[in-house]
């Protein structure tokens, strides 16, 4: 099971982060989430974080050159040498081409399919921990103690881009710029379609069966 190079694709709120984390823990390889990396850069107050934040809060994609640079650096780290799960990258055809130019050949692109109604339900109830990045849902996967992170005890918040206007813009960006990757990876023979509706454990089982 070593040296697995997978990517999770899907609209905002499809469950990419939830499922990528579960599978990465299981396989003992890192989950590399560009969304988490950009939010971390913001928390640290770096120049990159400040620039990216404006795009993120508006629900727009951060420019390719910025994201490609941080992924390239991350993939050079020691823990990524035996495999990884990319979560939320690539998100444009230019990013996919840049990944290929880095010499990375993905063995599987897990495309999590969910309806728009489900996306709205999931993002509308999401709570995240600014401290450790853990994600919960008020109704579907609540923390043990309301408002408190099970993993680190931090106070849970709503992401600024989970407001209705930003969600609308994220869905538009997804359709215009990210959805074309489905055909892109299908042509390469690496697309794995997975039904993302149902309980997280059910989706997890489907993904396990699809990538094993
Ligand atoms: P990012 O953080 O990647 O956001 P996203 O793609 O919009 O995805 P989400 O994190 O919202 O959803 P998810 O699919 O991970 O679902 P989750 O598991 O959390 O990116 C944020 C921003 O950063 C972008 O808008 C952009 O500005 C920038 N960015 C990032 N990458 C970039 C890139 N490559 N290029 C350019 N810009 C980039 O689940 C959602 C909720 O549903 C949670 O509450 C969860 O508990 C719940 N849930 C999950 N599964 C289920 C289930 N099966 N049933 C019920 N509830 C569920």
Q: Is 178 in the pocket of ligand 1 (CB under 6 A)?
A: no
- In the chain, % of residues over pLDDT 70: 99
Distances (CA, A) of 43 to 40, 46, 125, 130, 148: 5, 8, 23, 8, 19
* Catalytic positions: 16, 91, 126, 159, 170
Residue from 10, 11, 34 whose mutation best tests the ligand 1 pocket (most atoms within 8 A of CB):
34
* Torsion sign across C-alpha atoms 47, 52, 55, 56: negative
Q: Is the pLDDT of residue 3 over 70?
A: no
Please state, in angstroms and rounded to a whole number, the distance separating the CA atoms of residues 19 and 180.
22
Mean pLDDT of the chain: 94
Q: What is the pLDDT of residues 173-210, one digit of tens each?
A: 999 999 999 999 999 999 999 999 999 999 999 999 99
pLDDT, residue 209, reads 95
- CA of residue 122 to ligand 1 center, whole Å: 10
Q: Is the dihedral of CA 95, 45, 36, 1 positive or negative?
A: positive
State the Cα angle at 181 between 179 and 186, rounded to 5°. Answer: 120
Instruction: Measure the CA–CA gap between 147 and 156, rounded to whole angstroms.
Output: 5
pLDDT in tens, 97-153: 999 999 999 999 999 999 999 999 999 999 999 888 888 999 989 999 999 999 999
- Least reliable range by pLDDT among 2-11, 17-26, 35-44, 116-125: 2-11
Whether ligand 1 lies within 6 angstroms of the CB of 99 is answered as no
Ligand 1 centroid–CA 37 distance in Å is: 13
Identify the pLDDT of residue 134.
87
Total-model pTM: 0.94
Tokens of residue 166, six digits: 């930003």
Expressed in angstroms and rounded, the spacing between residue 98 Cα and the centre of ligand 1 is 22
Q: Which of 7, 16, 53, 124 to mutate to test the pocket of ligand 1 (most atoms within 8 A of CB)?
A: 16
Q: How far is CA 198 from CA 17, 122, 143, 168, in A?
A: 16, 12, 19, 23
pLDDT at 131: 86
């Amino acid at each position: 099971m070593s040296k697995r190079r997978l990517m999770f694709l899907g609209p905002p709120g499809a469950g990419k982060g939830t499922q990528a984390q579960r599978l990465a823990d299981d396989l003992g390889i890192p989950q590399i989430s560009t969304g988490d990396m950009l939010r971390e850069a913001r928390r640290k107050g770096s120049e990159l974080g400040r620039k990216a934040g404006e795009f993120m809060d508006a629900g727009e994609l951060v420019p390719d050159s910025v994201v490609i640079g941080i992924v390239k650096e991350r993939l050079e780290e020691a823990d990524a040498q035996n495999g990884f799960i990319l979560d939320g990258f690539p998100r444009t055809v230019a990013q996919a081409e840049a990944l290929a130019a880095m010499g990375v050949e993905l063995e599987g692109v897990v495309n999590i399919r969910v309806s728009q109604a489900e996306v709205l339900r999931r993002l509308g109830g999401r709570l995240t921990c600014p401290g450790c990045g853990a994600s919960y849902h008020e109704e579907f996967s609540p923390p043990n103690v309301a408002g408190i992170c099970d993993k680190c005890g931090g106070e849970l918040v709503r992401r600024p881009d989970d407001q209705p206007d930003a969600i609308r813009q994220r869905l538009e960006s997804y359709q215009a710029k990210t959805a074309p990757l489905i055909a892109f990876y299908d042509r390469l023979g690496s697309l794995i379609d997975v039904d993302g509706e149902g309980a997280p454990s059910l989706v997890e089982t489907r993904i396990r069966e699809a990538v094993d």
